[in-house]
Structure 1
């Protein structure tokens, strides 16, 4: 191929209609300002939080529903609007020289995947309710707690949303709820999770529950259509493809969007300006059922995400055992094989990977097992492509 042909080939590629307009709209971890198909759920949650409109602290609320049912989408959107319409960002930290204002309200959304300690919890709350920059260093947990307490002086109400409150089997919700109560001010919380109330709530009888059901197929079709309309160029997908994807996902918006993003990634690899049926099939095949939430793995440390990226890219024979997988990953990573092995066992403990026993083998000690990931592979690799 001579130089002229090379240039003309590039020109033809540039003349082609692009496929992706706004990739964030296709991501399972991105939530729109207006959740699709969740109006009744929003109304029920607003009913539970009604006292805040009268400047009274509402009762604690637990938003419960299965994976991919839009719980986080509803709560993040609602708290974003609360912060914009009901709180006063200009009223930063109340000092002793200011007069009390009983009408003041503050709202904070905290993702417990990221806030795993009291320091991180108070830092996230302060970051949400004050306009000043909160440093990550130079302050102790007690310093942050005192700042939150000062912010609440004068009768200010604080409502904190705590998302993913029941992951990893921790008692984080009970701990942070206790912290809020110990402040001695007018505080309430809204927890979000999948577990039964008795399994996660510190006091189930004192907490109101808002139940969220899985999406109906028509609702999920509408949601996917809305995402595609802003994320992809016109006619990049067909309505039949969207309906088929919604049926396959069985009401789980996370899995549907993970498959869609995977299909788009494959289409881009093939330099296609539309999502073909084969791309959609491959995108769905890249999502294990059940799978781990992408937001959960994106919250991992950088080193752990790197190991997971290398793991999902391995050939099946290189995942024939934990030791084999760790050895292959270590050959091209800066981490030691022992550290990688530890990470793999950590992943297995929290369900990010599954150790599947190898049939027909007999050995002393722990039986050999191959490593299967529970991560939507194509979507995960695309969302973390900047990590390496």
Structure 2
């Protein structure tokens, strides 16, 4: 049976060079970075070299990079520290954020620790920038703005510079979840003007279980995890040295190959749009998914013109892996918060959303396999509905 992997927004295959780098560390550098003997110092040196490289690639200071286990931990640490330790009493966010952000914010809200304002979402999946500009002018409460750089389901890109300029003007803190964009776009934290960001290695052909958060030095966020004082006290616990080395190598490769990979993946996305449009009557795309300037080039959110709750299973039987939404919370096929935000219940019941996400490893043959399978599935529904 064919095996076609088009769910790269959920996770990516580890790059062979990353595997090689990690294996070398596992074999030859097994000391605890907190130990003062030579084995520990060797591990510590690798850790700090990785930190330095990542900082250089983001135009950050090494002291602003903290290693974590993933984007979820990074986002939780940032948001909860802002409220618990930095005096934030108001959060401006949306219902379109990653679940780890939405749940963290909702938990703090339920404990009466913070007022939460969720921005209106326009029909194309964009935030209401005019509403945001009016809200941010109110400086009566210390405010954290938490808006993701790119939506992990429909791919819409945020105008980060526009948001950061306003947060600076009105003395708010700005956190942006960059899990889907680090390694896929050049990110300069100074140029963007952000206070906090997050990354997860497994989204850029690195290992699962390794990530980092960026926190501007002037913010002085506090730890969630107490213990041995690792990561300059922000994240206690023995560091995942080989995972961090793998993360650093994955980011290095991603940025070195950025131009070639972007060109290749954009070509695949364009081809998928053309083929789906030509061969499935009534197909459309969610959000700004088919706008290459305003959407992730790695994500295409497809809206099929019929309702089929078993489509994931049907594609699985054909050996094709895609997602019916975000894969970060549950394997169950249910309507996502993003789709609930964009569409009415009636509209949701007349369509089937699919997230197709690409990597440099995909080919046009993968797209052909997906399209031909979707054509077969669609023909059954479109004949019935005709």
Structure with more of its chain in helix, by fraction: 1
Which structure is richer in relative contact order (CA contacts within 8 A, separation 6 or more)? 2
Instruction: Return the index of the structure with the highest Cα Rg.
Output: 1
Q: Please, what TM-score do these two structures have when normalized by structure 1?
A: 0.30
Q: TM-score, normalised by structure 2?
A: 0.30
